[in-house]
Amino acid sequence: MNWTTDKVRQTWLDYFAKKDHLVLASKSLIPINDPSLLWINSGVATLKDYFSARKTPPSKRLVNAQICLRVNDIENVGFTSRHQTLFEMLGNFSIGDYFKTEAIDFAFDLLVNYYQLDPKRFYITVYEDDETTYKRWIKHKIDKNHIIKCDKSRNFWDLGLGPCGPCTEIYYDRGEKFDPKKIGEKLFFEDIENDRYVEIWNIVFSQFNNDGNGNYTELAQKNIDTGAGIERLVSVLQNSPTNFDTDIFLKLIKIIEAFCPFKYDPNSYFTFDPQKVKEQSYFRIIADHFKAITFTISEGVLPGPNERNYVVRRLLRRALIACKKLQLNLAFIEKIIDEIIASYENYYQHLKAKNETVKQVVLKEINAFNKTIDLGLVLFEKSVKNNTLTPQLAFQLNETYGFPVEIIRELVNQKGLTIDWTVFDQLMAKHRSISKQNNQTINFEKQNINLVNFKTKSTFFYHKNKINAKVIGLFDENYLPVKELNNQSGYVVFDQTVLYATSGGQRYDEGSCINHSNNNDQKISFQGVFKGPNKQHFHYFLVGSFKLNDQVTLSHDETWRKLAANNHSLEHLLHAALQKEIDPLIKQSGAFKSAQKATIDFNLNRHLTRNELEKVENKIRSLIKQKISSEEIFTDFEGSQKLNAIAYFEEEYSQHEILRVIRFGDYSVELCGGTHVANTASIEDCFITDFYSLGAGRWRIEIISSNETINNYLKAENQKLIQLKSELEKVLSLIDSSIFKVELKELQQRLDKFILPEKITQLRDASDTLLALKNDINQLKTKNYKVSQQALALSIKKQLLSLVDENKSYVIATFNDVEPKLLLQTLHDVFNQNQTKNFLIINQFNESNSFIVIGNKTTTIIEKLRNSFNLKGGGNDKLFRGSFQDNVTPQKLNELFQNK
């Protein structure tokens, strides 16, 4: 069978869909509300809210194919068989539903009966105390000599606090040609890095809770989390030397070949020629990195100097250096991006619309870096040749030629050389010492000498909506000072402004200006406002024309400002309420405020109950109704302490001469530079939309304000409830009313009585009611399924028994779309009653012409079948399971065996 990546993915999803798993689409590479991750790096990463019970899953059984990104071992990419930056993880998940037995059965069934892998080549790891898992693998006839019991370091997933448990791993023996040193099974048993025994599936049994002190208790709800890297699975099914020799990668490598004088040879894997290995590695680096670049840019992450943006820039520059090594004509770029999108667009459908954007961004970044990369590489190679490579030269590659530090280290290591990295690190630290690193949105600006030297005074007015201003500073996108920008992007500074700059967790104001110095009074919108190192507000624009001394009218979006002020004041009241109503030791450890919502992060050694959250919520509503006026007090740090003002960053605040305190009566007093309401009545109302763990005893609350926002939120949540109710109606309609008449009537009555909440305060009760109903309906659905399967098994049994003929040695039959497990169980029952007969059953299932043979001379039967038909499969003298590659009918089988 020709196993393409698309087919492997679809087979996985289809298989688990038929096992009542809900198929989830791949989520964005950018984590949502998860600051612990820079990128989505595993299939389960997008499902953490379900496993932690912060959110109710749409189904207890889930399956996905999730795109992931990891760059922690980027230096290995291209030089090993399996390291990649971008990859797909296939996963099936159970949240309080099935557990070890079913998870192992699913894995075995899918690998053997669908992907048609030979179970005799399976090697299994299990946790040393997990007898259930060990016995289940033995039941599947896995050679006990292929199963190894491992300790916690290898087969127990534990993060030190929270849910944890043992795991079992499935390895596949790819054969001796992938074991050049003929080490054999020792590679597997001693966990030696190798390409012969490849891990293709890992199943984690989340069954314990670690209290953080190594004390384990059983979880009431046990979960299953599995992962199978699609590239590994494809390489096994395609019998490819490495992940890079599979269908999609080879298409990309073929494009690279067409634009360079070198050739890629998959068989070079077996030559062990160091020069050839290095040459081939460049093909792999380019193919891998361009895949990652295409996906990340398609999700809006552009090359830049910080965080995710820096990852994209680093990938692109590393790929470009590999291009130089292969003397690659850069005309290949558009072709390879086209092929990447064509290879993935059937499943990742957002890619096609981003094709031109990806190309434009990549070409712009490459053109900028290309100007200096050649000079840098010449300098590097010359220093290597003349033995003059020093820490100072390495630093020059970074500062002058833009080489990322990691790439410099990699270039040095590839040459087998070393330099004094301590001196290099000191040079880098000195370069960064212009100002202390902090958490501002664009903290890299503090390292730019042009911004540090710009000290012209600019004033921000909190309480004005519109103001006339003059351009006093103008910088291009690289922070170079300029006198003029014409229909370009850049940063502008005014002598006075009314737009709030991102700081203190509050997002910048939406706003714009009218430039009166242009003939047509051009309106220019701002896409960001940031504080520079000398506290001026830098207004970022994508397209605009400015000259120094231009006169403008500057304004912020009043609706945005009002909603952001509501939420910032609301966050202060929330913080105070948590301290006064829950625990006085609660201290804000992070916050975000915008027009849409406010969030607050804090540490607490326990989960807050719904009653506690509503107590906090109701207290804030009381403060809103009291119409408490806000006070804006300017004082020094000592004066703020006398006011008992909360200060999140005392070290920083103590260095300022004048500080701003925001006070709401005696209830809330905080040092703050953000925008706020004049009176709590302006907030109108509040509602906590979410509460969840950030890990290690850290929690986050999300809250919204204003009647309009809350009403819109209620409407959106009601639409979800309407959708869920409709889905539950459909489930009930499919249940056999002749068997479950009483249960159906009771559940239908409950569903009919369900009423959508009219007020936000009714939403939680309504949601809980419908979710409880969903749970009960799903339980009945499971019962109905079992009954239907029993009925189907009885029907199959009657049909098989009707075919038993005393004068014939064989019972030959065919079925359509019967679950293999059910068919096998039924067949065993019939065989036990007719042990002198041989049963040969065809099952047309999932477009596969599969078959089962049970009898007393299976080996002889299979030998005869092999001589007449093209088939795959495995078994023993009593049972054989496989699939025909030809169109085999019962008539053909009766003729072959002269059924008598």
Segment 831-872, tens digit of pLDDT:
999 998 999 999 988 778 899 999 987 888 888 888 888 888
Question: Is the model's pLDDT at 69 over the cut of 90?
Answer: yes
Q: Could you read off the pLDDT of 163-207 as tens digits, one per residue?
A: 789 999 999 999 999 998 899 999 999 889 899 999 999 999 998
> Domain residues for 683?
570-703
Residue 892: predicted pLDDT: 86
Distance CA 862, CA 859 (A): 5
- Flag whether 568 is marked binding: yes
User: Are 256 and 333 in the same domain?
Assistant: yes
Looking at the structure, tell me whether residues 201 and 256 fall in a common domain: no
Among the candidates 349, 373, 397, a domain finishes at 373
Residues 28 and 121 in one domain: yes
Same domain, 332 and 464: no
Most confident of 336-340, 380-384, 691-695: 336-340
Q: Are residues 113 and 167 in the same domain?
A: yes
pLDDT at residue 650, as a whole number? 42
- Higher pLDDT among residues 549 and 371, named by residue: 549
Task: Look at residue 695 in the predicted model and tell me its pLDDT.
Answer: 60
Residue 417 has pLDDT above 50, yes or no: yes
Domain boundary among 681, 703, 725: 703
For residue 255, pLDDT beyond 90: yes
Domain identity same for 64 and 185: yes
The answer to whether the annotation marks 83 as part of a ligand binding site is: no
Answer yes or no: do 673 and 613 share one domain: yes
Give a yes or no: residue 812 inside a domain: yes
Which of 158-167, 357-366, 481-490, 709-718 has the least mean pLDDT? Answer: 158-167
Q: What is the pLDDT of residue 1?
A: 67
Residue 831 shares a structural domain with residue 740: no
Residue 409 lies in a domain: no
Query: Poorest-confidence range of 53-62, 95-104, 830-839?
Result: 53-62
Regarding whether 662 and 778 lie in a shared domain, the answer is no
The pLDDT assigned to 435 comes to 27
Lowest mean pLDDT among 52-61, 172-181, 228-237, 542-551: 52-61
Question: For the domain that residue 18 is a member of, what is the CATH number?
Answer: 3.30.930.10
pLDDT recorded at residue 149: 94
Q: DSSP assignment of 85-143, as one string?
A: SEEEEEEEEEESS--HHHHHHHHHHIIIIIS---GGGEEEEEETT-HHHHHHHHHTT--
* 223 and 134 together in one domain: yes
Q: Is the pTM of this model over 0.75?
A: no
Would residue 395 count as lying in a domain?
no
How many domains, in total, are found in the chain?
A: 6
Indicate the residue among 205, 223, 239 that finishes a domain: 239
pLDDT at residue 277, as a whole number: 81
- State the average pLDDT for the chain: 88
Residues 6+ away with beta carbon under 8 Å from 353: none
According to the annotation, is 167 in a ligand binding site? no
Q: How far is CA 897 from CA 437, 810, 857, 860, 900, in A?
A: 80, 8, 13, 11, 8
For the segment 760-795, what is each residue's pLDDT rounded down to a tens digit? 999 999 999 999 999 999 999 999 999 999 999 999
Q: What is the pLDDT of residues 630-688, one digit of tens each?
A: 999 998 877 887 787 776 544 344 445 688 999 999 999 999 989 999 999 999 999 99
In a domain, 288, yes or no: yes
171 and 209: one domain? yes
pLDDT at position 696 is: 54
Give the residue-averaged pLDDT of 70-74. Answer: 84
* The predicted structure's pLDDT at residue 443: 33
Indicate whether 682 belongs to any domain.
yes
Assigned domain for 163 exists = yes
Given a cut of 90, is residue 615 above it in pLDDT? yes
Which three-class secondary structure string do you get for 408-458? HHHHHHHCCCCCCHHHHHHHHHHHHCCCCCCCCCCHHHHHCHHHHHCCCCC
The 10s digit of each residue's pLDDT in 15-57 is 999 999 999 999 989 887 666 688 998 888 888 778 766 678 8
Q: What percent of the chain has pLDDT over 70?
A: 94
Residues 125, 197, single domain; the answer is yes
Residue 649, judged by CB atoms within 10 A of its CB (0-12, 13-18, 19+), counts as exposed
Query: Does 491 have pLDDT greater than 50?
Result: yes
Q: Are 171 and 146 in contact (CB under 8 A)?
A: no
